[in-house]
Amino acid sequence: MKLALGPLLYYWEKQTVETFYQQALTSEADIIYLGETVCSKRRELKTRDWINLAKQLADAKKEVVLSSMALLEAPSEIKILRQICENGLFKVEANDLGAVQILAENKVPFVCGPAINCYNASVIKLLINKGMQRWVMPVELSRDWLIKILAECTQLGIREQFEVELFAHGHIPLAYSARCFTARSENKAKDDCKLCCIKYPVGRPATTQEDQQVFVLNGIQTQSGYCYNLLNDVPSMQGLVDIIRVSPSGTESFTSLQDYRAAVNGTGSPIQLASKECNGFWHKIAGFQTQQ
Amino acid sequence: MELLCPAGSLPALKTAIDGGADAVYIGLKDDTNARHFAGLNFNDKKMDQGAQYVRDHNKKLHVAINTFAHPGGEKRWFNAVDKCADLGANAAIIADIATLDYAVNKHPDLELHLSVQASATNTEAIKFYQENFNVQRVVLPRVLSLQQVKQLSRSTDMPLEVFAFGSLCIMAEGRCYLSSYFTGESPNTVGACSPAKYVRYQKTENGLETRLNDILIDRYKADDKAGYPTLCKGKFNVEGNLYHAIEEPTSLNTLSMLPALMEANICAVKIEGRQRSPAYVEQITRVWREAIDSYRANPAAYRVKESWDRVLANVSEGTQTTLGAYHRDWQ
């Protein structure tokens, strides 16, 4: 099993991003996803900067994939999407079928990201025909669902034609909206957001009136209140998952990658999940819950 | 412009047609549609009766098959498509790529509409569905501003349908996993958001509490009307501020935007609410019929009548309405 560092879902200053990826050079990540997937107004790094960063990481023998936006609404966003899809060097993670359309037209191989609704083997087959090489399972699906899909892929004779990646660690991207919830939390309109999400490097937590953390607000994206942690579940991924994704939250993500490396190598030991961690989706129960 | 109304039952279907709907949309009694609620939707017999009623009145019938086929269960979705074709329905509203692929190959004459659950918000995504599955209409997610709807309409030859009234889903539809995060069940997987079996209303000394799978969604004072605990419409704390962090309990109402939608060449306005009563369907249908006819009779003189707004507010969530994402300031 390989390890991947997913795309940065939060909005950080350019310097912070660059320092973070300098550290990623020597991290346990085999694959690094780069790019803005949440909001097109976040332009600390422009497409050109991401591609330059990608080249540096590729020189250090990391596999680099350029990630693209999940919610594409404006022609200007499609223009940037085209630049990414036509970069000529790196594979692209499509997070909308608009990206799949452009990538297929250009015959660029791609990763099907978690924001694309691929729930069965027939869809996988169709996407393979469009150039998909790797599939990141939708976050709400379970191990049980994955087993069934892969069994069907075997029947269809396509099991060997793609890799399976699993979003395994981090606050889970659960929804995308027209509304910016971070701006709303500051009583600002989206058009006048002043890019305020840069003040919240791991998003803004939202809790119930009983202090249960239910969401993390990250611009137009709503994330899980609890942090997904499938470290104990690595053995149950054997034969199903090729790549484990850790979603960046800061330097602790590099420690998480080390932990997953140990788990993959069989040298780690089981942990007790913290109170704000969960593993429900993988175990086919409510996402926020934890199966011990 | 087609007025497309919801029908969760045969009485609702008849009411919609009698009230002036140009078309109605229905779902089967299983998890192949996104309103898979107990006591709702159509079995084979009712579907035949409904189709006959629609035909007799020279109106149109659309069948929603808008959840995502489960591995090993694809047959259920494909059977739904077969039924829709056998019924002689005018269109199937589909979200899942596998189901679209089956439909276009097996029933090339069946008109396919792309469900809002497929979340196509841009020209390239629309092209994907057009080229691969000969989709002939796209239902736009409720995440676009009016400006973006107009822009999209100008840049594609695809007929576009928009949501005009009803419960307001504020996330890009089909890409929201909040419900499964809270309950393990989502619109995509079981055809329901915030399913009723997880809902609890509880009187406490703090007031009436509404819970979803035991998670506190909201708390109401004695004289407040408690809403259904849809998880995105709850009151939550963000660093000391208690408010509707995602959205207030409110309904979408675009009556005031009707001229703009007409001018933007929108081919159909859809009313949400297959889960609502025939009485709801009747009231909404009559108001929208009158509004569309009044615009057609004299576009320049079109005004939203107070009586229309009153009727709509009465049947709205939290008795308030909004233009939602269509109005840029809402975002």
Contact A120 B68 (CB under 8 A): yes
Which residue stretches of B4-67 are H helix? 10-19, 44-56
What's the start-to-end Cα distance of chain B, in Å? 27
Residue A203 lies in a domain: no
- Quick one: which of A41, A219, A141, A98 has its CA closest to B126? A98
pLDDT digits (tens, 9 = 90+) for A123-179: 999 999 999 999 999 999 999 999 999 999 999 999 999 999 999 999 999 999 999
Contact B120 A97 (CB under 8 A): yes
How far apart CA B193 and CA B174 sit, in angstroms, is 11
pLDDT digits (tens, 9 = 90+) for B74-89: 999 999 999 999 999 9
Positions in chain B whose pLDDT score sits under 70: none
- Quick one: which of A178, A37, A286 has its CA closest to B194? A286
Could you tell me how far CA B192 lies from the centroid of its own chain? 12
Q: How far is CA B256 from CA A60, B111, B229, B302, B305, in A?
A: 58, 31, 28, 9, 10
How far apart CA A43 and CA A80 sit, in angstroms, is 12
- Quick one: which of A72, A219, A137, A115 has its CA closest to B120? A72
Residue A196 lies in a domain: no
What tokens were used for B308? 């229309």
Q: How far is B52 from chain A (nearest CA, A)?
A: 34
pLDDT at A104: 97
| Element at A14 (helix H, strand E) | helix A14-25
**Residue range A189-211: mean pLDDT, rounded:** 96
Domains contained in chain A, number: 1
Range of the domain at A114: 2-171+228-272
How far apart CA B297 and CA B301 sit, in angstroms, is 9
Contact B181 A211 (CB under 8 A): no
- HSE-up of residue B12 (Cα within 13 Å, Cβ side): 27
Residue A166 lies in a domain: yes
How far apart CA A6 and CA A25 sit, in angstroms, is 14
Q: Are strands B160-167 and B137-139 parallel, antiparallel or unpaired?
A: parallel
Q: Using the CB atoms, write b or e for A229-262: b if 16+ within 10 Å.
A: bbbbbbeebeeebbbbbbbbbeeebbebbebbbe
- What residues are paired with B91 via a beta bridge? B62
Residue A207 has pLDDT above 80, yes or no: yes
E strands, chain A, are 2-5, 31-34, 63-67, 91-94, 110-112, 132-136, 163-176, 204-207, 213-218, 221-229, 243-246, 277-278
**Residue range A220-228: mean pLDDT, rounded:** 98
B contacts of A210 (beta carbons < 8 Å): 216
Residue A118 near chain B (CB below 8 Å): yes
Contact A206 B176 (CB under 8 A): no
Contact A177 B170 (CB under 8 A): yes
pLDDT at B226: 86
Tokens 């009779």 belong to which residue? B297
Which residue stretches of B64-208 are H helix? 74-86, 97-106, 123-133, 146-155, 178-183, 187-190
Residue A25 has pLDDT above 80, yes or no: yes
Residue A71 near chain B (CB below 8 Å): yes
Q: Write the CB contacts of A115 (distance below 8 Å, at least 6 apart in sequence).
A: A37, A70, A95, A96, A173, A176, B175
Under 8 Å between Cβ of A58 and A64: yes
Residue A131 lies in a domain: yes
Residue A86 lies in a domain: yes
pLDDT at B137: 98
Question: Which chain B residue's Cα is nearest to A283?
Answer: B184
Under 8 Å between Cβ of B274 and B6: yes
Contact B329 A286 (CB under 8 A): no
Residue A217 near chain B (CB below 8 Å): yes
Residue A262 lies in a domain: yes
pLDDT at B168: 86
Question: Which chain B residue's Cα is nearest to A127?
Answer: B97
Contact A177 B96 (CB under 8 A): no
Nearest to A140 among B180, B242, B246 (CB): B180
Q: What is the CATH classification number for the domain harbouring A67? A: 3.20.20.70
pLDDT at A31: 98
Residue A216 lies in a domain: no
Residue A59 lies in a domain: yes
